[in-house]
Structure 1
Amino acid sequence: MPCLNEAETLAVCIRKARGFLERAGVEGEIVVADNGSSDGSQEIALANGARLVRVETKGYGAALAGGIAAAQGRFVIMGDADDSYDFENLGPFLAKLREGNKLVMGNRFKGGIKDGAMPPLHRYLGNPVLSFVGRLFFGSHIGDFHCGLRGFDRQAILDLNLRTTGMEFASEMVVKATQAKLPIAEVPTTLSPDGRSRRPHLRSFRDGWRHLRFLLLFSPRWLFLYPGLALLLVGIVLGGVLLGGPVHITRTIEIDIHTFLMAAMFIIVGLQAISFALIGRRFASRYGFIPKSNFDGVLEALTLERILLAAVLLIGLGVGTLIWGVSVWASRDFGPLDANSSMRYMILAMTALVSGLQLGMSGFMSSMINIPLYERRVTELPPPDDPMSRRRDLPKKKP
């Protein structure tokens, strides 16, 4: 149980959890991961027979991570200490864990949400939308991404190397477990109004944004790649259609140079977004934020030299178009030019030049991730007063 000033409800949560352990005949412990309470929660935990773990790093995720690391059981069931979750009916969680599932999520929407237990904004917008985004981005089947009551195999979750310290810890657990292809199950659970008189620690917009931000940053495909591909495709098609001149949509609607300029912008932004997607994926995969996949082999094939070759070709296209434009101007004795046609080729030249320069810089940025890091390892020596620390090969001190 993560705990930060839960004096009003902590004791009853501990009693309910202990009652379940006794009725189910389960050998277990109740761990209270205290995050710096100042209302006597620590004394209440000890007085009610719980094991107290003090977690110095602030944050919901930090408290949970500290409690999970300190837990001694094979299975862990986590839940908030505000008396909103049903600690007396944890049998379905334990049964699914014993079946071999590594993560068992509670689903409050299937189990029942009592009146006043969840604000309407969370119930009908926040949780459904964020859960949908999680399912869409990561292919998860979980219906309630943010249920705080869940059980898991302790070692399997430790192996995921969860890193977030705030409320998004809940999303990170589901996302990484899904990406690692761990067996995941879901069981109905009820949610009751919490028993505290103070406001909850959760802040709707701040913590909702942190969850959404995490889901986006953990999925470079949806944040950068898919939007970038869409922009690039629209820009290329639209620019190709308008390269030869204006196009009449209807008798009264015509698209021309201004739309061509917008197509150029789509191409530049789309190419940059795709570059960010590739850089983000390579960085996250290399440093363990997301698991490796077959796509990483494609990224490794995109060497700096190959990226620079494509960049040089684009820059060459831009320079060539500029030279051709100057030659056309020279053929007319550097006299007045048709602004419509001359601007069309100038836009094409600038688009190719900017895209080539961006691609080259992105290639260098991406290659920086592949620079091998030297990790200095220092062997800890025994204490000076330890007889085993005396070595004959060390020079004797001068008197």
Structure 2
Amino acid sequence: MNATLDRTSAQIECELSIVMPCLNERETLVQCIRKAKAFLQREGINGEVIIADNGSTDGSQQLAEDAGARVVAIPVKGYGSALIGGIRAARGRYVIMGDSDDSYDFSELGAFVTKLREGWQLVMGNRFKGGIHPGAMPPLHRYLGNPVLSTIGRTFFKSPCSDFHCGLRGFDRAAILALGLQAPGMEFASEMVVKASIQQLRITEVPIILWPDGRSRPPHLRSWRDGWRHLRFLLLFSPRWLFLYPGAAMFGLGLLLMALLLAGPREVGHVQFDIHTIYYSSLAIVIGFQAVLFWVCAKLYGMREGIVPREDPRFDRFLRWFTLEHCLLAAGALLLLGVGAGVSAVIAWESTGFGSLAPEQMMRVVIPSGTAILLAFQLIYGSFFFNLLGIQADRGGLPIVQEDTHGL
């Protein structure tokens, strides 16, 4: 009984947990722990240092325990897995996480603690504002990878972070756990910022200094592989930029070109656009329409899973129109249009005794006919699938797809 009370009391009193992922970091681990513990002692903070060990084979675990840290074994491999396990094991109200390669100075965490105590829920370090020592960051990361990915993240998710992938960050433990972070690899860094931005947590930045890491071996990070994983993650979490905007642009451009060329070929300068352009316009229309349908699916699924905000007035207004009944009516109109154009083409073919036809004229009818029929069936099957997603979402307490109770 007394032991249980003591553990509970320690958890209540612990203000800050400093969490470091570890995979064979014996060269730098003890130095990082000593700096972190010196900071806690100097500032009079009741805290702890946690080493989330991801299966080290170089004796890092014993070195960490001897240095006064609490070692938590994380069997599932990956940077994200190690940190998720360490955060869950933390006892502090606040957590500051950072790599154990001595590239971050754990003795200078005062700005993070100040911001956390002010009520900020995620405090990101910013290496570009604080300073990057020579050799601390490869040029590819400094001038291409980080700026590009940070710009994409700010654009897609309206995030205030200008150093999206800084590994030194502090946060309110309960608020971050509520995000349900799951990424096992390096993209965990993006997942935290993306979900925190989507859920509108209070986010700020503090300048930090990045030092060259103290290891003699290469880092675990792989530039192109992990850069792609970050970019892929950002795209998957932003269905508008992945599906809606490109799809709508392709659909609109294809429709415009087809409409311009239905009456006959057009010349721009010395270039003539004819039925071949109509064919590729049809492809653009179909692909664009399919991309927009994928956006609706991704949006519905994301709202159900908490990946994108559940409150979206514009999408809700769209769905009030986008009922199964309305979709079937629109698909029926497209099908009639396509079949009607196809019938007219067959009649024209019959008038020649089913002989040869002038392709320049007939393809202006056949291609739009096939396009309309294809769009009709895409819309029919898509609308039934959206309705299925809506039923599943409604079971979870999220009414998404509206039924038309007035019938047809």
Length-normalised TM-score, structure 1: 0.90
Task: Please list every run of 5 or more consecutive structure 2 residues that lacks an aligned counterpart in the other structure.
Answer: 1-19, 396-408
Partner of residue 226 from structure 2, selected from 194, 207, 211: 207
Counterpart for residue 60 of structure 1? 79
Structure 1: distance between partners of 2:361 and 2:158? 48
Structure 1: distance between partners of 2:282 and 2:79? 46
Deviations 1:88-128 (A, max 9, x none): 11111111111111100001111111111111111111111
Partner of residue 255 from structure 2, selected from 215, 236, 248: 236
Partner of residue 316 from structure 1, selected from 320, 325, 336: 336
Partner of residue 161 from structure 2, selected from 138, 142, 148: 142
2:284 paired with 1:266: yes
Structure 2: distance between partners of 1:59 and 1:133? 24
Partner of residue 305 from structure 2, selected from 275, 284, 287: 287
Structure 2: distance between partners of 1:149 and 1:287? 28
1:123-138 equivalent positions in 2, closer than 5 A: 123-138=142-157
Q: Structure 1 residues 235 and 221 mapped into 2: Cα distance closer, same or farther (>3 Å)? A: same
289-298 vs 2-11, which deviates more?
289-298
Instruction: Work out whether residues 314 and 353 of structure 1, in 8 Å CA contact, stay in contact via their aligned partners in 2.
Output: yes
Q: What is the number of residues matched between the two proteins?
A: 374
Instruction: Work out whether residues 78 and 148 of structure 1, in 8 Å CA contact, stay in contact via their aligned partners in 2.
Output: yes
Counterpart for residue 384 of structure 1? none
Instruction: Work out whether residues 304 and 393 of structure 2, in 8 Å CA contact, stay in contact via their aligned partners in 1.
Output: no
Structure 2: which amino acid aligns with 1:351?
T
Structure 1: distance between partners of 2:192 and 2:304? 19
CA shift for structure 1 position 371: 3.9
2:374 paired with 1:362: no
Structure 2: distance between partners of 1:204 and 1:85? 19
Structure 1: distance between partners of 2:222 and 2:318? 39
Structure 1: which amino acid aligns with 2:277?
T
Q: Tell me the percent identity.
A: 57
CA shift for structure 1 position 55: 1.2
Aligned-residue CA RMSD (Å): 1.6
Counterpart for residue 398 of structure 2? none
Instruction: Work out whether residues 282 and 296 of structure 1, in 8 Å CA contact, stay in contact via their aligned partners in 2.
Output: no
Structure 2: which amino acid aligns with 1:106?
G
Partner of residue 34 from structure 1, selected from 39, 50, 53: 53
Q: Structure 1 residues 202 and 263 mapped into 2: Cα distance closer, same or farther (>3 Å)? A: same
CA shift for structure 1 position 248: 2.0
Deviations 1:310-346 (A, max 9, x none): 2222122111110111222334444443210101100
CA shift for structure 1 position 270: 0.3
Deviations 1:237-257 (A, max 9, x none): 11111111111223x222111
1:142-221 equivalent positions in 2, closer than 5 A: 142-221=161-240
CA shift for structure 1 position 5: 1.0
Structure 2: distance between partners of 1:191 and 1:147? 9
Counterpart for residue 345 of structure 2? 325
Structure 2: distance between partners of 1:190 and 1:16? 15
Deviations 1:187-243 (A, max 9, x none): 110111111111111111111110000000000000000000000110111111111
- The alignment partner of 1:370 has SS state of helix
Task: Please list every run of 5 or more consecutive structure 1 residues that lacks an aligned counterpart in the other structure.
Answer: 376-399
Structure 2: distance between partners of 1:38 and 1:368? 49
Structure 2: which amino acid aligns with 1:341?
Q
1:16-27 equivalent positions in 2, closer than 5 A: 16-27=35-46
- The alignment partner of 1:232 has SS state of helix
Instruction: Work out whether residues 125 and 205 of structure 2, in 8 Å CA contact, stay in contact via their aligned partners in 1.
Output: yes
**Moved >6 Å (runs of 4+):** none
Structure 1: distance between partners of 2:392 and 2:192? 29
Q: Structure 1 residues 373 and 103 mapped into 2: Cα distance closer, same or farther (>3 Å)? A: closer
Instruction: Work out whether residues 103 and 183 of structure 1, in 8 Å CA contact, stay in contact via their aligned partners in 2.
Output: yes
Length-normalised TM-score, structure 2: 0.88
Counterpart for residue 114 of structure 2? 95
- The alignment partner of 1:147 has SS state of coil
